[in-house]
Structure 1
């Protein structure tokens, strides 16, 4: 499948299922969306997964399922962007293009179960447990399949997801408007990139609104509508997300981590961490 361009719908090639392997120093780092459903397994690399009001991390072995038109980005950690770095990323993705089924989706009784996936528009999930194991088994043989065998695997994957139950964990809530216009998408991408690059320093509302080319009042409305978070809350989420990484991967004292991720007050960092993750930093590290 061709690279999915940010906020542009790829022309249909009349394929119900497409398979893509991403290999490189870092994953595609622009906020983007597309009408195809997406099933992605992370084979190498780690970083932040952002989608709507969700701010979390991805790592090797994670499996994600995204509905139609979910604005999202797998943003590799900063070390993956270093010029002479030796790190690399790898991920495999299967796309499902329901538009390719035409009227069959609404007319064929055999395909009625697929219609529920239309309700997943704007939503993303992490796949866990036995469901994940069954899906990864199909991922192992999927690249060599073609024609009816590939179509059969695709339907089998959707059937597994249909019966996933609690193994399909919702990560975000649908935004008030599902999907973004190309203009709003580019604006949101600029803001996201700016926040990710500057999240460890004091970032003012004025700076962020200038990046979006909006007044402060208009920017606050724009941002809250698309993330369900205020600018300050979202920035705090990004910082706590980075603190999780440092708590897991380093032996740095909690006070130093708090300072590194942009908090000037340790007690405020502890309160913020607990309010978001339900436990203090030291307990999370253990």
Structure 2
């Protein structure tokens, strides 16, 4: 039976191998989606939570991410970016690679044997690290100026950089072996949007099951199969990541931050924080204040 992909298509012609896209606005596209093109995204401005596959973490300016084909993902901007009267702004540069557009004849030439092998081995989502990150970021930013053959050559140069040792850091613990159906994608999108928007409040299993239009038992199976986490584990992780942001950016007490992120018990917050971040909230705040930069566990 044919499985439909989530309704999200990159606006491009069927013969276009690579497309450059600038996302500029108050917040990034906030619906969980997937597409057959590979995606390379650099965050220039904005911050929030990235969900891709079974991974949940933060994104900040300067971050670069690579997603292989059909990885469900969403860059969910922080709540401040949705304030219509606010001055927050988000800016991202993305390159989409459609290897099917090259055709099997081109992809089978000897010169692309190494690229083919890398494509087969590189599945999932990745953060870009290492000494080549700055060079790669410059190439992504300059890609808008490329046309014709220069655009094609620049695309292959970027792909060559991505194949360098130690530049890709895997974000996923598990890789889904099947795509979401259109119904599953819409259901997961509604669930994730609800959780990320309401994580600071009390959310019951019944509430989130209702959003998915499933019984509690069916929802628990559905959610665990697609995220690798239970609903409670995922919600706790969302709240801890929000707490990390507040610990760095706000002059609030630890107890105030705990309650603001949806925790009703301070001792449970401390235990959950240490389990996920491998340090106490106090230790985290002291460490990032000394470093002067954002540090989140992934």
Q: TM-score, normalised by structure 2?
A: 0.90
State the number of aligned residues: 280
Q: Is the 8 A contact 1:12 1:100 kept in 2?
A: no
Q: Distance in 1 between matches of 2:197 and 2:141?
A: 36
1:217 equivalent in alignment to 2:217: yes
- 1:7, 1:181 within 8 Å by CA — same for their partners in 2? no
1:191 aligns with 2:191: yes
Secondary structure at the counterpart of residue 39 of structure 1: strand
Supply the distance in 1 between the matched residues of 2:61 and 2:48 (Cα, whole angstroms). Answer: 10
> 1:167 and 1:251 mapped to 2: Cα distance?
35
Counterparts of 1:173-184 in structure 2, within 5 Å, are 173-184=173-184
1:199-225 Cα offsets, whole Å, 9 max, x none, are 112211111111101111111110000
Deviates more, 1:129-138 or 1:202-211: 129-138
Return the alpha-carbon distance in structure 2 between the equivalents of residues 212 and 67 of structure 1: 27
- Aligned residues: CA RMSD: 1.6
> Alpha-carbon deviation of 1:19?
0.4
| Structure 2 counterpart of 1:31 | 32
Q: CA deviation at 1:169?
A: 0.9
SS at match of 1:103: helix
The alpha-carbon deviation at position 188 of structure 1 amounts to 0.1
Q: Are 1:39 and 1:64, in contact at CA under 8 Å, matched by a contact in 2?
A: yes
Aligned to 2:127: 126
Distance 2:106 2:125 in 1: 22
Could you list the runs of 5+ residues in structure 1 that have no partner in the other structure?
A: none
Following superposition of structure 1 onto structure 2, how do residues 1-286 of structure 1 map, counting pairs within 5 Å?
7-10=7-10, 12-104=13-105, 106-115=107-116, 116-121=118-123, 123-163=124-164, 165-286=165-286
CA distance in 2, matches of 1:175, 1:161: 20
Cα separation, 2, equivalents of 1:137 and 1:198: 37
Query: Deviations along 1:262-283, whole A, 9 cap, x unmatched?
Result: 1111111111111111111111
- Contact 1:20/1:94 (<8 A) preserved: yes
For structure 2, the residue ranges without an aligned partner over 5 or more in a row are 287-298
How big is each residue's C-alpha offset from its partner over 1:129-175, in whole Å with a ceiling of 9 and x where there is no partner?
21211211212321111111111111111111111x32311112344
Q: CA deviation at 1:12?
A: 4.8
1:6 CA drift (Å): 5.1
- 2 CA distance for matches of 1:36 and 1:50? 18
